[in-house]
Amino acid sequence: MRSARAVTCSLRLSIAVLFAACLTAAKPAQAETAIRFAIEKLDATAAPLLVALDKGYFRAEGLNVSLVLPVSPEPAEGSNDPINRIAAGDADLGFGDLTALLRARVEEQPAAVKAIYVVYNKPGYAVLGRKSRGIQSPGDLEGKKVGTPRRDPASSLWKAFVTASAIDGAKITTENIGLSVRDPMVASGQIDAVTALSYQSFIDIKERGVPASDISVIFMADYGVKMYGASILAGEKFASENADAVRGFLRAYARGLRETIAKPQSALEPVLKHDTTLSKESELERLRMTIRDNIQTPETKANGYGGADMTRLSAAIDQVAAALELKKKPKAEELFDPSFLPARGKDER
């Protein structure tokens, strides 16, 4: 038989549990903020985003994040799809190219979109060629034929690269080739080099039978091109009306990014789960390339991920405006808004 004291303690505990349950039931569930995120490619470059989705980091911030994918299953590299989606109100945030954003900001009807988090501090804009064809540095391009696809972001910086690297553009034959034939033409030797995103074309050329040791990657950033690369973009209206949600998104994304950098192989798992047709070996190589070449730089090691040096960005805007002969150019603060950036992570210190 239970003692009177035990019965009293049990009764008190039951009342406390019941009271807590009533409080929980009475308190309405907090509504999640929906965020539509536009993205062009669900490959290894999307790992930080998919890690944050897969591990519930966005939900922990009170967000319900859904992906907005291109209408075409194979979008053209370098298109403005995320920027256009955000500007049209079909997406709230997205992952897009900063040079493409600059161009969209100077159109007759400027896109009301800004970068809020720079992912690729050193962009993948590059010229890729074959070492066996004598191409290893900018000067080697003189006397050669270079493919410059019109819609490729690196192609839009070709003139800036030629000027910054002090090579003679008149001695280089450029040819506007299609994106779909760019890498096959390098692999088959039909063309000497191409402008491209390093982490996309390197893998593609290699998979077409060219040994990695024969592929040269000339980063435009190594020869004076100052522009930043792919970034998280936001619609200005959405960001101003949902500032806390946008900050929460970037906190979750930054968490996913840090985990991706620390453990790329594990970070690839949600990517492969999204698309089972991807090659694990190729995507892991692509991911490690972006971490090594584009994300971890002296600037991010000194200042943390996500930010932009406004002096560098202003100089980059001047470069691009001159190369593209733009009649007007945006100010740095019109292109990048640092006000939503999360605090620097412990593992970045």
- What is the tens place of the pLDDT at every residue in 204-233? 999 999 999 999 999 999 999 999 999 999
The lowest-confidence range among 6-20, 62-76, 105-119, 321-335 is 6-20
pLDDT of residue 10: 40
Residue-averaged pLDDT of the chain: 89
Higher pLDDT, residue 26 or 330: 330
Cα–Cα distances in angstroms (integers) from residue 16 to residues 20, 171, 288, in the given order: 6, 84, 53
- Check pLDDT > 60 for residue 27: no
Distance between first and last Cα of the chain: 62
pLDDT of amino acid 183: 94
Confidence of residue 7 (pLDDT cuts 50, 70, 90): very low
pLDDT attached to residue 247: 98
Q: How far apart are CA 169 and CA 143, in angstroms?
A: 10
Q: What CA–CA distance (Å, rounded) separates 84 from 39?
A: 11
The token duo for 12 is: 């008190």
81-109 mean pLDDT: 94
- Spell out the domains of the chain, with CATH numbers in brackets: 33-121+228-348 (3.40.190.10), 125-223 (3.40.190.10)
Please tell me the predicted confidence (pLDDT) of residue 31: 72
Q: What is the mean pLDDT of residues 104-112?
A: 91
